[in-house]
Amino acid sequence: MDSVELCGPAVPDFSTHPGLAAGVAVLQLAASRYLALSEQEKELNQRLRSLYPAVSDQETPLPRSWSPKDKFSYIGLSQNNLRVHYKGHGKTPKDAASVRATHSIPAACGVYYFEVKIISKGRDGYMGIGLSAQGVNMNRLPGWDKHSYGYHGDDGHSFCSSGTGQPYGPTFTTGDVIGCCVNLINNTCFYTKNGHSLGIAFTDLPPNLYPTVGLQTPGEVVDANFGQHPFVFDIEDYMREWRTKIQAQIDCFPIGEREGEWQAMIQKMVASYLVHHSYCATAEAFAKSTDQAVHEELASIKNRQKIQKLVLSGRMGEAIETTQQLYPSLLERNSDLLFMLKVRQFIEMVNGTDSEVRCLGGRSPKSQDSYPGSPRLFNSPVHKASNVITDHLCFPLFPGFDSNYCNGVSSSKGHTSAHSHKSCPPTIPSPEPGVLNGSRGQQTNVSAEVEMEVDHFSNGVSESSSNGFLNGSSTHGIDLEECDADMEVDSAQSKRQLCGGSQAAIERMIQFGRELQSMSEHLRRERGKNSANKKMLKDAFSLLAYSDPWNSPVGYQLDSIQREPVCSTLNSAILETHNLPKQPPLALAVGQAAQCLSLMARTGSGSCAFASVDDYLH
């Protein structure tokens, strides 16, 4: 574990702090993993991610090498289990030997591809390349048995679960690169030779097949490429065709037959969504023009809006206070929620944004403070590619989307996802609603790297902006003028200082940390262990293990985007007290679609690979 020196975290004068050790441990883990990752592995990871974005590596790992456990004894492996050689007698077909890959091909690949290079054809070149199910006899060449499929080099025949082959393609020998592509949408397979597609070899393939090679005579050596290197065949191009096909199918899917029904439903979803996220004025106007009733009082919507703004601007202390004022029993009854808010408050203190710290600190560098403008929003982890937003009507589909649903598969509690945000990018980002509405007019193609002058307060509350007026919050917004002066453009990261750089603030933060620690202990005593809470606290405290927390492995917590799940959880909790749904139907629908896709992946429907919900939430 010499990796600690490598990163050299400045150990803060904070020895009593329980989070420190944890922070170091996290760091060590990250660093050692980084070191172990060879260039080839990095390339492999990158290629697999880009080829099969819909595959969850935790749930269904992709094949990365041949399995040293799942092979016949006549097979030898070398070079990171990628090279296969024959070491039997090779006298009769009884001496045939195969090896399977470490994992079966996940359906969520949609289209899966691997290549095998013939290093040497050995004595007779009786090599078979193909697929087989778990448990198929390994003392055979692929294709000879049930649930086994192969293309053989000596005669160019394809073997479909049978001892007799069918004429299929050319023969192959030393120097040739043979590719095998499994289409999990129509359950077919085709091979390629030196980059040329040879046409369909098998149809009606069963699920969960493993890449397999078999050899039969001495001297035969083949190398696999599961993505370690660029493929000879242009598999991306083939995948593009299928993506287009699936998307055309979705686009052409017939919807509600009765006229107007579809439209009415969409209008209802939009209206409920606007109310949920407290876009009072917009919701009112929308309801009026589409002739719908709003099921929540305007004042209540505005209250929620106020709280949300505080959370999203990082002013957690005020947010908690306001919540306690407006909904007196809410946080009392829901101590886990309160704990989550307080942990966030701690993080905001480190960030220098929380109100308590701001008062002590005086100056608060803009870079730590402001909630970024909307273009940045949509460049959040999943959306790096597009920084030009042209169609603002599409925005409201994301916000407030509860992470329960993005991570539907792992089905963790809502608040834990705030911490898993970075390590496991959610399928759906949840930007902040107020920003969306308020800054519509300012959506320009500002790149994500530029810190914007647009500050969070102008979002939805600006006095001059007609959008702000629409949202009706300029009059009941918190008085914010005092802060405007501080909002300078300042992108220099070096200016970020712990708690805004004030010693008093740091002391307050440390004190708050202790309070939080005791609250945690109190909670544990009263309600038993809660691993999510424990992790949350640990992660937050780990920030202090670094001289520059923003650029540390746990620094993602300081990103303003992490306020969104907190905000959304709080909002949902408030709505629940009013007997309103904690999820807007729109988010529910999106969540269901995502859930449905993961269900498809589990049941072997490959088309889920090309139907990412993201693609439709521009």
Partner 1 sequence: VMRYDFVLSFVTMQEVTATSRHYVDRLFDPDPQNVLQGVIDMKNAVIGNNRQKANLIVLGAVPRLLYLLQQSSSSLELRTECAVVLGSLAMGTENNIKSLVDCHIIPALLQGLLCSDLIFIEACLRCLRTVFISPVTPVQLLYTDPTVIPHLMSLLSLSQHTQEYITQIFAHCCKTPEHQTVLFNHGAIQNIAPLLISPSYKVRMQALKCFSVLAYENAQVSMTLVNVLVDGEQLSQVFVRMMQRDKPIEMQLTAAKCLTYMCRAGAIRTDDNCIVLKTLPCLVRMCSKERLLEERVEGAETLAYLMEPDIELQRIASVTDHLVSMLADYFKYPSSVSAITDIKRLDHDLKHAHELRQAAFKLYASLGSNDEDIRKKITETENMMDRIVSGLSESSIKVRLAAVRCLHSLSRSVQQLRTSFHDHAVWKPLMKLLQNAPDEVLVMASSTLCNLLLEFSPSKEPILESGVIELLCSLTQSDSPALRVNGIWALMNMAFQADQKVKVEIVQALGTEQLFRLLSDPDTNVLMKTLGLLRNLLSTRPDMSSHGKQIMQAVTLILEGEHSIEVKEQTLCILANIADGNTAKELIMTNDDMLQKIKYYMGHSNVKLQLAATFCISNLIWNEEDGSQERQDKLREMGFVDILHKLTQASDPNLCDRAKKAMQQYLA
Query: How many residues are given for the chain?
Result: 618
Tokens standing for 423? 């390590």
The CA distances from residue 584 to 273, 398, 591, 604, in Å, are: 5, 11, 11, 30
The CA distances from residue 419 to 440, 450, 584, 595, in Å, are: 29, 25, 23, 21
Question: Counting contacts by CB under 8 A, is residue 197 touching partner 1?
Answer: yes
Question: Counting contacts by CB under 8 A, is residue 238 touching partner 1?
Answer: yes
Alpha-carbon distance of 327 to 307, in angstroms, equals 11
Question: Counting contacts by CB under 8 A, is residue 277 touching partner 1?
Answer: no
Alpha-carbon distance of 477 to 248, in angstroms, equals 46
Nearest C-alpha neighbor of 419 from the set 14, 13, 8, 22: 22
In the complex, minimum distance from the CB of residue 191 to partner 1, in angstroms, rounded to a whole number:
10
Alpha-carbon distance of 584 to 259, in angstroms, equals 25
Question: Counting contacts by CB under 8 A, is residue 188 touching partner 1?
Answer: no
Backbone angles phi, psi at 573, to 5 degrees: -65, -40
Residues in a beta bridge with 152:
128
Alpha-carbon distance of 386 to 440, in angstroms, equals 17
Alpha-carbon distance of 135 to 127, in angstroms, equals 20
From the list 196, 288, 527, 578, which residue makes contact with partner 1 (rule: CB under 8 A)?
Answer: 196
Contact 273, 586 (CB under 8 A): yes
Question: Counting contacts by CB under 8 A, is residue 237 touching partner 1?
Answer: yes
In the complex, minimum distance from the CB of residue 205 to partner 1, in angstroms, rounded to a whole number:
18
The CA distances from residue 143 to 152, 213, 241, 546, in Å, are: 9, 10, 28, 57
Query: Residues near 454 by Cβ (< 8 Å), separated by ≥ 6?
Result: 370, 372, 373, 439, 442
Question: Counting contacts by CB under 8 A, is residue 410 touching partner 1?
Answer: no
Vertex 449: Cα angle to 494 and 360 (nearest 5): 40
Nearer residue to partner 1 within complex by CB, 179 or 584: 179
Question: Counting contacts by CB under 8 A, is residue 200 touching partner 1?
Answer: yes
Nearer residue to partner 1 within complex by CB, 225 or 533: 225
Question: Counting contacts by CB under 8 A, is residue 193 touching partner 1?
Answer: yes
- Interacting stretch for partner 1, rule CB under 8 A, among 61-69, 230-238, 337-345, 480-488? 230-238
- Interacting stretch for partner 1, rule CB under 8 A, among 9-17, 69-77, 237-245, 582-590? 237-245
Question: Counting contacts by CB under 8 A, is residue 229 touching partner 1?
Answer: no
Neighbouring CB atoms inside 10 A of 494's CB total 8
Question: Counting contacts by CB under 8 A, is residue 241 touching partner 1?
Answer: yes
From the list 243, 276, 358, 376, which residue makes contact with partner 1 (rule: CB under 8 A)?
Answer: 243
In the complex, minimum distance from the CB of residue 244 to partner 1, in angstroms, rounded to a whole number:
4
Nearer residue to partner 1 within complex by CB, 204 or 479: 204
Question: Counting contacts by CB under 8 A, is residue 186 touching partner 1?
Answer: no
Interface of this chain with partner 1, residues 586 to 615, rule: CB under 8 A: none
Question: Counting contacts by CB under 8 A, is residue 195 touching partner 1?
Answer: yes
Question: Counting contacts by CB under 8 A, is residue 198 touching partner 1?
Answer: yes
Residues in a beta bridge with 188:
183
From the list 68, 163, 175, 199, which residue makes contact with partner 1 (rule: CB under 8 A)?
Answer: 199
How many chain residues bind partner 1 (CB under 8 A)?
A: 16
Nearer residue to partner 1 within complex by CB, 81 or 174: 174
Interface of this chain with partner 1, residues 244 to 263, rule: CB under 8 A: 244
Question: Counting contacts by CB under 8 A, is residue 122 touching partner 1?
Answer: no
Residues in a beta bridge with 397:
none
Nearer residue to partner 1 within complex by CB, 87 or 196: 196
In the complex, minimum distance from the CB of residue 195 to partner 1, in angstroms, rounded to a whole number:
5
Vertex 99: Cα angle to 95 and 103 (nearest 5): 160
Question: Counting contacts by CB under 8 A, is residue 230 touching partner 1?
Answer: no
Nearer residue to partner 1 within complex by CB, 71 or 193: 193
* Residues near partner 1 (CB under 8 A): 169-170, 193, 195-200, 234, 237-238, 240-241, 243-244
